Amino acid sequence: MSYAPRPVAVVNSAQTLFKPSWADRQHVDLISEAVTGVLKGTGLRIDDVDFVIDSGSDFLDGRSISNCGFLGAMGAHHKEESRVEEDGLWALSYAMNKIASGSASVGLVVAYAKPSELDARSFWCTLLEPFTQRPVGLDHLSAAGLYAHRYLTAAGLKPKDLEVVARHAWEAAVRNPNVDLDEVPSAEPFWHERVASPLHGSDFARPVDGAVAVLLAAADVADQITTRPVRLTGHGSAIDQHFLAAREADALPACAAAARMALGTARATAFDIAEVSATSTVGELMVLEALGLAPRHKALDLYDGGGATAVNPSGGALPADPIMATGLARFHEAAARLAGRSGFAAGEARTALVHGTGGFAMQNHCVVTMEVAA
Amino acid sequence: MTTMATRIQMPYTLTPGEATGVFLAELGRRRLIGSRHGDRILVPAQDFDGSTGEPAEGFVELAPAGRLEAFTVTAQGVLGLVLVDGADVPFLHRIVGFAEADLTIGARVAAVWADEPTGSVLDLAGFGPAGDGPGFKPRIAPDGLAQPFEQVEYTMTLDYQHSYGHYYGTLFDAVRTDRRLRGVKCSQCRRTLLPPRARCDVCFAPTAEWVDVEAVGVVQACSVVHIEFIGQRLKPPYVYAELVLDGTSTRLIHMVGGIDPAEARTAVAPGSRVRAVWSDRRTGSLADIDYFELIPGEPS
Ligand SMILES: [Zn+2]
């Protein structure tokens, strides 16, 4: 007996505006806006959705099993619903598998976060092993600083060299209507005040509030709905060991493993768009190298604009990091461009590589690939 | 009302396991204990090598000195990765006593011990400047090892600022100023939902109009709570009840009070008619209702 997975395609994707604080809206308000948006224009109604997989963090939400309170806003009443305490890109892989296996045809993926309700530092520290790492004061900032110190030393770079990474990200985000940002920050402290040496404020991801929703379907269903269907072609994920000190000094082997699983024999450089997540500039460089988009310690060269792959045309995660939804936001940005949806400059892009990360100091990685159906 | 400040404070007794338990206990004796996994030595001692999965074959004492491999300076101080002499994986800890200009990769460092041990990893205060003094190779700890800590007390505290949004904000404003409960009607199924929300949970249709809900209803289910737990507002025993307020389709969890605890089990039952007893507090939350009481002369 042979088993051939069913092709899976993107029907639509949508998000709320990402902004540092949606102080006048609850999680459910953001979630229902994204879900309403993803159904709009597809001809599908919530009753046509077979199952919902969502992503969020109980710690961030400040309540346990927080999805229980958000079911109505996700349109998941009396549907099969499951929640992933990981970035939304993992939720998307599970939905993809479920449709590929033939057990359902239409799946809704939802990811959301309101990091403005809890300070990001507290959230990241809850992920830490509490005996030897948490008490010494390790947090997401100092962890990125330690990676950066070793990366810059090994690559022969200076802290100032990282400004090109931040500039690329923030300038792209200014052009991105999905991000609440009018101009690239110009304040002196943002660019020059030390946060965790060798990193400055501009080297860190800015937490934002928001929600993202993606509608997936079996390809034959999606083909009837969309004029330029986008097929999912691969996915993979991997987790590094937890102890930061024991991980590789200046590389992300778990990210490379996730990419190997997703890409198979394909090469990352063959993709038109790469939308990747990171919590710092150095993190973004290490991700690009682990994915195979640049040789080790050479990812900075990708920012001169000459590469075949457009890196983070959305601006990526640095200007807008809705913590649990960041990878799914990358997916939305890439899928919308491939599908040529209005408001997204698509160019000739036909293929995209999407990356999400989670865990303390980018311990976990997920990679998804897609292409416009021939 | 726009936001609500809340704190989640959870007491834990954490179990460190053997390797971490021994490591922490030995810090109080000013000794650095690592674990041996094949030809690799890890410090802090671990039950399993995170890279290879190899279990610990035994514990060794390491000289409390090493070299600085990387560091980061933050507003809270300096953290660094110290490769302890004889170890194969760096140890992440505080770096203390250095002038910033003297912090360099490769600097020799030695343990700085806390004056008084308190039973945490901070019994080792950090690593400070050191010379090339004589150390020793990883060795079997003389005089045996301390008993591992079995439990470590820990409290996690998280502070939130939750947004009410338009719907809860409108309800709680009305509760605070007018002692009035406000729900919304679903545009599709026409049911009245309390608390109010943008979309009906069942239909996923937008809600349409505001309706006032009287703080009077019927008990759908109830339970007498006898045990004490964190976060309780009333002292047990009290009756916890699922109420359906007149005209609504949603259930409200609240308490039924004003009854003799001894009679609670028989006095309140599904079908009992109840009404709100408002407190003198005006916080703008459903806790402004002290409890619901049985309505005299109506089914109970
Ligand atoms: Zn309804």
Q: Where are the domains of chain A?
A: 8-118+207-225
Res B224 pLDDT > 80: yes
Count residue pairs from A and B with Cβ separation < 8 A.
157
Asked if pLDDT for residue B216 goes beyond 90, the answer is yes
- List strands edge to edge, sheet with B40-42: B40-42, B32-37, B58-62
Question: Ligand 1: distance of its center to the CA of A29 in Å?
Answer: 16
Model pLDDT, residue A306: 72
| Nearest by Cα to A324 from A286, A279, A288, A284 | A279
Tell me the pLDDT tens digit for each residue of B47-82: 999 999 999 999 999 999 999 999 999 999 999 999
DSSP B162-225: EE-HHHHHHHHHHHHHH--EEEEEETTT--EESS--SB-TTT-PBEEEEEEE-SEEEEEEEEEE
Maximum Cα interatomic distance, chain B, rounded to a whole number of Å: 90
- Structure-model confidence comparison of residues B178 and A341, the more confident one: B178
CA A148 to chain CA centroid, Å, is 21
Question: Which of A22, A24, A136 shows the shortest C-beta gap to B121?
Answer: A136
- What is the rounded average pLDDT of the residues B122-127? 98
As a whole number, the mean pLDDT across chain B is 94
What whole-number distance in Å separates Cα of residue B206 and Cα of residue B189?
10
pLDDT of residue B233: 80
Q: How far is the CA of B204 from the centre of ligand 1 (A)?
A: 7
C-alpha radius of gyration, chain A, whole number: 19
Print pLDDT tens along chain A (374 aa).
567 899 999 999 999 999 999 999 999 999 999 999 999 999 999 999 999 999 999 999 999 999 999 999 999 999 999 999 999 999 999 999 999 999 999 999 999 999 999 999 999 999 999 999 999 999 999 999 999 999 999 999 999 999 999 999 999 999 999 999 999 999 999 999 999 999 999 999 999 999 999 999 999 999 999 988 999 999 999 999 999 999 999 999 999 999 999 999 899 989 999 999 999 999 999 999 999 999 999 999 999 877 889 999 999 999 999 999 999 999 999 999 999 987 777 678 999 999 999 999 999 999 999 999 87
Q: Mutual orientation of helices A140-155 and A281-291 as an angle, nearest 10°?
A: 60
Report d(CA B36, CA B38) in Å as an integer. Answer: 6
Chain A residues closer than 8 Å to B71 by CB = 146, 149, 197
Cβ pair B197:A146 closer than 8 A: no
Query: From CA B186, how far away is CA B209, in angstroms rounded?
Result: 8
Whether the upstream peptide bond of residue B138 has omega within 30° of 0, thus cis, is no
CATH number of A8-118+207-225: 3.40.47.10
Which residue in A has a C-alpha nearest to residue B77's C-alpha? A137
Interchain pair A146, B70: CB under 8 A:
yes
Determine, for residues A145 and B91 on separate chains, whether the beta-carbon distance falls below 8 Å. no
Q: Supply the pLDDT for residue B110.
A: 97
What pTM did the predictor assign? 0.95
Please name the member of A62, A137, A194 whose beta carbon is closest to the beta carbon of B160: A62
Contact criterion met (CB < 8 Å) for A130 and B69: no
Q: Inspect the interface and report whether the beta carbons of A137 and B202 lie closer than 8 Å.
A: no
For residues A42 and A217, give the distance between their C-alpha atoms in angstroms, rounded to a whole number: 12
Interacting residues of B121 by C-beta distance below 8 A, sequence separation 6+: A131, A132, A135, A136, B24, B27, B44, B93
Contact B51, B191 (CB under 8 A): no
